[in-house]
Structure 1
Amino acid sequence: MSPVVDADRAEPFDDREAYTAALDEIRSAAAAYYNGADLVMDDATYDALLARVVATETARPDWKADDSPSGLVAAGVGIVGDVVHSEPMLSLDNVFGEEELRRWAARLDRLLGRPAAGYTVEPKIDGLAIAARYVAGRLVQVATRGDGRAGEDVTAQARRAVGLPEQLAEPVTMEIRGEIFMTDADFARANELRTSHGEPPFAHPRSAAAGTLRAQDRAYDAPLSFLAYAVHGLDAATTGLDGDGAALPHSALMAYVERLGVATTAGSPAGMRRCTTLDEVLAAVAELSARRGELGFGIDGAVIKADHPADRELAGSGTRAPRWGIAYKFPADTRTTTLLRIEVQVGRTGVITPVAVLAPVQVGGVTVTSATLHNFDDLVRRNVRVGDTVFVRRAGDVIPEVTGAKLDERPADSTPYEPPVTCPRCGGEIDRSQKRWRCVQGRACGARESLAYYAARDSMDIEGLGSKIIDLLVGAGLVTDPGDLYALEPSALVTLDRLGEVSARKLVANIQASKTRPLSRVLTGLGVRMTGRSMSRRLARHFGTMEALLAASVADLQQVEGIGPERAVTIAAELVELTPVIEKLAAHGVNMTEPGVVGAASATGGDDADVPTSTALPLRRPDGTPMTVVVTGSVPGLTRTEGNEAVERLGGRSSGSVSKRTDLVVVGEGAGSKAEKAEALGVPVLSAERFADLLAAHTAGDAATVAEILASLAGDPEPAAG
């Protein structure tokens, strides 16, 4: 993420508060980008926001903050380590079209007092910039960019990157700079390894590469790749390529480095083009843009550099970026894949939407298997059919959409899509008066399914509210969503078939009793798309209250483990759609807080005194992070779901697989191979009975018993039950 060079066309902020808020947004997005978290803002949004900041600072220089990200490498948020760079590792400024590129080239010519002697065009790889030091041909140290002046030492992890050899072909001393990243194949393999160890898949190749480069003591080694784009500290006489010791062009230096065994952008499928004129540069950029989907790794632009060292020296560099180089950013990534089928989804409000089911394809670093077709009129306009090779992009680099089909590759036997005549869910009539078709029954269309899910044992666990009773309630018009349940009175229920006065009173009592369920159960019952029981618990533990969750931005949601850009957008949209139901539930007194989360009670006016703080949670490591706990077999008095919930109530993170990184395995009756694997790996084991004791003691505030059980874990593991 680099600031826009020319903000002439950007609109300045009208007030200082908006400008300051934009700075905070930029720093937050840059921190996630450079430090390896999931992306919280797509490049286009980031670049546009930063352009407005630059425009504002130009128009109102008195507003400019001393630490404005517009003038800092990595927006001033890179993780700074102890390794000082031999020369500053600068960023590149951006251009977004031919006109801006020509203006940059004209400025370069003015600085030189003549036309540049030549240019190189290389891929802009979406990875982590590193500096690798070689002494006498051996790799001795690798550091990240950091703040441009100093970075972290990541030598141990970087040694595994393909393309960064341990030993060069010649005993040369120099520093290589380039990008550590994941190819499409690397990313697929990394996610196979990650999910097989019970962890959520990586959301994006860049964050996957960043996390892998900094990972310590993982149970698996995810693959990494490296491509060099610069060399420092190597004089021409050392290479033997220039007898008089004159400095070599960048293109010649990179060719030499490749002969030493280092992978370079020039030797990659993207290649490096040597250009004499700007028209040749533009042609090379266009060619690279057209081939970006065929390279096997993600790029988001092209890098144009002055090739001759004399031109670079004359042009010089600013505090953040060199004047002799520029990044030409590409528009949103578009790939092709096969449209397998078209499905129809019916939303909670009865909206009927066509969805494309696709053969898996990497788009912008994310594996896409389905994409929106917006509405049925739009489907006709885009002219796509099952079996077509279709173009897929991520709108705003987030939401996948099908933009059209390659008509020249359409199968001869293809037929146009026939939209549904009746509602696919309930068989009722469809209102086609608007672009977005809707079932005439509206929310009542999906009431049976949503109510059954809400009342299920793993959700709100409302005993007696089975499918037959739900059918009666919906059929009588008494209930259309979960909020309506809490307004039911026995007098209304006794008018229904199969419900006498005693049964009616009991059902109402059970419904009212469910009000005390934790927030995680409420979220599970609401059936938020792209979440389940585990993700609902993570959301509840992270935000503590429904109020905080509803106020969360897409960026805030991505701070929760396992939530990347696409999932965050979906969850945010679902919560907006569910807000009327949530407000109805809250008005009826349904609990909207998660026990054991600091501030959860106070956020809704409750009493914090009885809520355990995170520092008192027994399944926390000394640094406050959650222990990874696997529950295998049955725990007395708890279902499997309740066992996992108990782990999280005690401050831990439940997992389904045992590895070297597991902190504790709870073993109950019926446990299988997980107990044996824990013993083989030396992972502490706690019997299910003692785990139940730990939960009871923590709930009762019995600190002595909690301490006793925790102390036993420091000694010999307990024998497996059963």
Structure 2
Amino acid sequence: MTTPAAQIMDAAAYAQAVEDAVRASAAYYEGGTSSLDDDTYDRLVRGIAAWEAGHPDEVLPESPTGKVAGGAVEGDVPHTVVMLSLDNVFSPEQFTAWTASLARRIGHDVAAFSVEPKLDGLAIAARYTRGRLTRLVTRGDGTAGEDVTHAAAIVEGLPAELAEPVTVEVRGEVLMTTAQFEHANEVRTEHGGAPFANPRNAAAGTLRAKDRAYTVPMTFFAYGLLPLPGTDSELAGLLDELAHSELMARAAGLGVNTTAGTAVPGLVATSVDEVLARVQEIAGLRAQLPFGIDGIVIKADAAADQRTAGAGTRAPRWAIAYKLPAVEKITRLLEVEWNVGRTGIIAPRAVLEPVEIDGSTITYATLHNPADITRRDLRLGDHVMVHRAGDVIPRIEAPVAHLRTGAEQPIVFPSVCPRCGSAIDTSQERWRCEQGRNCHLVASLSYAAGRDQLDVEGLGGTRVVQLVDAGLVADLADLFALTRDQLLALDRMGETSTDNLLAAIDTARGKPLSRVLCALGVRGTGRSMSRRIARYFATMDNIRAADATSLQRVEGIGPEKAPSIVAELAELGPLIDRLAAAGVNMTEPGATPPPPVTEEGPDGEGAAADATAGENREAGPLAGMTVVVTGSMTGPLEKLSRNQMNELVERAGGRSSSSVSKKTSLVVAGAGAGSKREKAESLGIRLATPDEFGELVADYLG
């Protein structure tokens, strides 16, 4: 979806738009702040360009359309080669038109395009002399930039010394990953500063900071490699002739970070259709990336094509940025609602002034917990940066502190549970009603009875409410104590529906341990984690006997999560005992307990053997394989939910995954498999139809 350009009706509106754009750009590039989000700025600049196209004699000299985007106005370090920005396209039609224009310019169709993610950071040039990093320079106005060499030590991916003693310039993007951004805001607020609005602003401000009492890391990704004065003539000639994809391989060989090691590596495409397919693939992965992207950069790969195409005053003619819809916007925080989840967790939710992001109108966003609100110094009435990528729940990054008016009000935290009025346990960052699951019993029981947990057919939300209101069920174990007479006494419960429900409850007694564990709703676990825990320990007794150290041997459980799971299981102990007494299964079919923990020898073999025991205990047709299921299933797999397919993979000895990578062993591709199938084909990963996969795991169906 292409966001329309801002409408400018007359010369006065044009002048104001230029002033607004210049002010926003200067604020961002000089201090890492801006009054406009990226999408609004793009709309404004496109509106300015549209007005100028119809009024070429009235173009103001300070207009942003004729300048290189990306740096401070001032800079005293000249670039040896002008450092340009990129023109943009916003749709397949615009991109196709650009490729046709490029073909006319160079006299033939482009044989190969380089396709890379457009990283959402700050462009810099890193100069190396005889292999040692000697200077970092911002893009500035394209001809000269600001010296930021003082920040070199905190930029990861930009080595102090290259693998070879060569004199070259590496150009690329400095950004903050999601983890680095979170860390930066924690450190910044601890030192009394306002949190950064987003990772891009954080990188811009941090790169220029010289007198801060703290430092925070950033990450560099290269997108260019060129010779400098003093570069060996043979190497200089080679760099001038290498295709862009070859230059990136050369940069990686020198030890510089590139996108090659990410989920969205730069690739070469040989047709417009291939480029557009890659654009969609990168866009689909956007929400999963540990760093921000706002588009895809497409370049003519061959050096000869680039030379023939040349460049304009602000952008090369052989490269274009295919911009993706904005995933962040500035809006206002109107109020905070406090909701209670099925386990008693009290979760704040932001109510926003409606804003459109990526084609959806956003009115709510997650706020995580009270500690997060305090860290970010959020206040009612704040202008806030709201982020949304793919299907991820929108979240507030931070207040845009420089837009505060003084009328903002503090957010009031609840003193008692907003659902039942009980006391609140505030001992952890995530506050919880002291009644726990009993505070929201209906939600807790409905979850436990769901298809991917105990799958109790006939026990929907309405029936759960009826059972709770009648006083027949106060926790999960009470379900298994229900009698026929009790159910027949309820409204709209005849003999047939009663017998069917009792039969479904009886069937639920035999569900695998992984389903029972998931039904308990242990904080810090879900469907996949419950399966891993159950398959590693094999029995509920083993799980309950495990300490935090033992739990960390399960993939995905770290030192922070393990103690909370141990504490939660201890809290659930009486309920688990009652479930076991009611005949509920407490073992995982096909799994065997891990061997006793052996004392670690000098080479660490004992610990290593124990750590992998849970993964290799069961042989099967998928032993040692990582399997991705995508598309619609057919045949014997047709009625299985995606969670049931994942369970099937693991029963057959494999490991289920939701994304295709070089570590994937097999992709089960049904109808509508789309980009995951395409990626598997590009990586040479084995593909199977649903019918072929059904035959492979036939012994494990049922």
TM (norm. structure 2) is 0.49
TM (norm. structure 1) is 0.47
